[in-house]
Structure 1
Amino acid sequence: MTDSLPGPLIVQSDKTLLLEVDHERADDCRKAIAPFAELERSPEHIHTYRLTPLGLWNARAAGHDAEQVVDTLLEFSRYAVPHALLVDVAETMARYGRLRLEKHPVHGLVLVSNDRPVLEEVLRAKRVAGMVGARIDDDTVVVHPSERGNLKQALLKIGWPAEDYAGYVDGEAHEIELDQTEWSLRTYQKEAAESFWHGGSGVVVLPCGAGKTLVGAAAMAHAKATTLILVTNTVSARQWKDELVRRTSLTADEIGEYSGSVKEIRPVTIATYQVMTTRRKGVYSHLELLDARDWGLIVYDEVHLLPAPIFRMTADLQARRRIGLTATLVREDGREGDVFSLIGPKRYDAPWKDIEAQGWIAPAECIEVRVTLPSSERMAYAVAEPEERYRLASCTHHKIDVVRRLVTQHTDQPTLVIGQYLEQLDEIATALDAPTITGATPVKERQRLFEAFRSGDVGLLVVSKVANFSIDLPTAEVAIQVSGSFGSRQEEAQRLGRLLRPKTEGKSAHFYTIVSRDTVDAEFAANRQRFLAEQGYAYSIRDADS
Structure 2
Amino acid sequence: MVGNSMKPLIVQGDSSILLEVHNDSFEAARADINPFCELEKSPEHIHTYRISPLSLWNGASAGIRADEVLEILEKHSRYPIPENVSFRIRDLISRFGKLKLTETEDPAILQLHIDDKLIDAEIAANRKLARYLTRHGNSFLLQLYDRGTIKLELIKLGYPVEDLASLKKGDPLDFHLRDKRLDGSDFQVREYQREAAEAFVGNNRPGTGFGTIVLPCGSGKTIVGMTIMDLLKTNTLILTTNVAAVHQWIDELTDKSTLSREEIGEYTGDRKEIKGITIGTYQILVWRKDKESAYKHFQLFRERNWGLIIYDEVHLLPAPVFRVTAELQTVRRVGLTATLVREDGAEENVFSLVGPKRFEIPWKQLEAQGWIAEAICHEIRIDLPEDEKIHYATADQRRKFRIASENPIKMEITSELIANHREDSILVIGQYIDQLQKISKALKAPIITGKTPNQERERIFEDFRRKKIHVLVVSKVANFAINLPDASVAIQISGTFGSRQEEAQRLGRILRPKEKNSYFYSVVSRYTVEEEYAANRQQFLTEQGYKYHIEMWGRDEFIHD
TM-score per shorter chain, which class?
Answer: over 0.9
Partners of 1:478 and 1:510 within 8 A in 2: yes
Quote the Cα distance in structure 1 between the aligned partners of 2:125 and 2:188: 52
Q: How many residues align?
A: 539
In structure 1, the partner of 2:253 is 244
- The percent of aligned pairs where both chains have the same amino acid is 49
In structure 2, the partner of 1:414 is 425
In structure 2, the partner of 1:173 is 172
Listed as ranges, the matches of 1:162-201 within 5 Å are 162-181=161-180, 182-198=186-202, 199-201=208-210
Q: Secondary structure of the equivalent of 2:436? A: helix
In structure 1, the partner of 2:57 is 57
Quote the Cα distance in structure 2 between the aligned partners of 1:119 and 1:103: 19
Q: Secondary structure of the equivalent of 2:494? A: coil
Quote the Cα distance in structure 2 between the aligned partners of 1:75 and 1:305: 37
Which string of whole-angstrom CA distances, capped at 9 and with x for unpartnered residues, describes residues 53-74 of structure 1?
0000010001111111111100
Q: Secondary structure of the equivalent of 2:533? A: helix
Which string of whole-angstrom CA distances, capped at 9 and with x for unpartnered residues, describes residues 144-163 of structure 1?
11100000001101111110
Quote the Cα distance in structure 2 between the aligned partners of 1:480 and 1:313: 38
Partners of 2:6 and 2:23 within 8 A in 1: no
Q: Gapped runs of 5+ residues in structure 1?
A: none
Give how far 1:127 is off. 2.8
Give how far 1:5 is off. 6.8
Pairing partner for 1:378 from 389, 393, 408:
389
Partners of 1:478 and 1:511 within 8 A in 2: yes
In structure 2, the partner of 1:341 is 352
Q: Secondary structure of the equivalent of 1:54? A: helix
In structure 2, the partner of 1:469 is 480
Give how far 1:164 is off. 0.3
Give how far 1:286 is off. 0.6
Quote the Cα distance in structure 1 between the aligned partners of 2:476 and 2:364: 25
Which string of whole-angstrom CA distances, capped at 9 and with x for unpartnered residues, describes residues 289-318 of structure 1?
110001000000000011100111100100
Quote the Cα distance in structure 2 between the aligned partners of 1:67 and 1:221: 37
In structure 1, the partner of 2:519 is 510
Partners of 1:220 and 1:227 within 8 A in 2: yes
In structure 2, the partner of 1:93 is 93
Quote the Cα distance in structure 1 between the aligned partners of 2:350 and 2:287: 21
Matched AA of 2:275: R
Quote the Cα distance in structure 2 between the aligned partners of 1:474 and 1:207: 14
In structure 2, the partner of 1:125 is 126
In the alignment, is residue 331 of structure 1 matched against residue 335 of structure 2? no
Q: Secondary structure of the equivalent of 1:163? A: strand
Q: Secondary structure of the equivalent of 2:216? A: coil
Quote the Cα distance in structure 2 between the aligned partners of 1:176 and 1:116: 49
Quote the Cα distance in structure 2 between the aligned partners of 1:65 and 1:463: 45
Quote the Cα distance in structure 2 between the aligned partners of 1:498 and 1:123: 49
Listed as ranges, the matches of 1:390-405 within 5 Å are 390-405=401-416
Matched AA of 1:38: E
Q: Secondary structure of the equivalent of 1:280? A: coil
Listed as ranges, the matches of 1:258-337 within 5 Å are 258-281=267-290, 282-337=293-348
Give how far 1:137 is off. 2.1
In the alignment, is residue 424 of structure 1 matched against residue 424 of structure 2? no
Partners of 1:490 and 1:528 within 8 A in 2: yes
388-397 or 111-120, which deviates more: 111-120
Matched AA of 1:544: W
Which string of whole-angstrom CA distances, capped at 9 and with x for unpartnered residues, describes residues 364-404 of structure 1?
10000000001110111111222211111100111100000
Listed as ranges, the matches of 1:492-531 within 5 Å are 492-504=503-515, 507-531=516-540
In structure 2, the partner of 1:448 is 459
Partners of 1:99 and 1:119 within 8 A in 2: no
Give how far 1:106 is off. 4.5
Give how far 1:120 is off. 2.6
Q: Secondary structure of the equivalent of 1:420? A: coil
State the TM-score, normalizing by the size of structure 1. Answer: 0.97
Q: Secondary structure of the equivalent of 1:499? A: coil
36-45 or 386-395, which deviates more: 386-395
In structure 2, the partner of 1:111 is 112
Matched AA of 1:275: I
Quote the Cα distance in structure 1 between the aligned partners of 2:81 and 2:99: 30
Which string of whole-angstrom CA distances, capped at 9 and with x for unpartnered residues, describes residues 92-117 of structure 1?
10011101010123474111122233
Q: Secondary structure of the equivalent of 1:151? A: helix
Partners of 1:395 and 1:424 within 8 A in 2: yes
Quote the Cα distance in structure 2 between the aligned partners of 1:29 and 1:250: 45
Give how far 1:176 is off. 2.9
Give how far 1:322 is off. 0.4
Q: Secondary structure of the equivalent of 2:297? A: coil
Q: Secondary structure of the equivalent of 2:169? A: coil
Matched AA of 1:194: E
Give how far 1:186 is off. 1.1
In structure 2, the partner of 1:484 is 495
Quote the Cα distance in structure 1 between the aligned partners of 2:78 and 2:275: 58
Give how far 1:246 is off. 1.1
* Runs of at least 4 residues off by over 6 Å: none
Quote the Cα distance in structure 2 between the aligned partners of 1:168 and 1:421: 44
Quote the Cα distance in structure 2 between the aligned partners of 1:467 and 1:200: 30
Give how far 1:266 is off. 0.6
Partners of 2:101 and 2:111 within 8 A in 1: yes
In structure 1, the partner of 2:32 is 32
Listed as ranges, the matches of 1:222-237 within 5 Å are 222-237=231-246
Matched AA of 1:15: S
Quote the Cα distance in structure 2 between the aligned partners of 1:196 and 1:482: 38
Give how far 1:25 is off. 1.1
Quote the Cα distance in structure 1 between the aligned partners of 2:352 and 2:65: 19
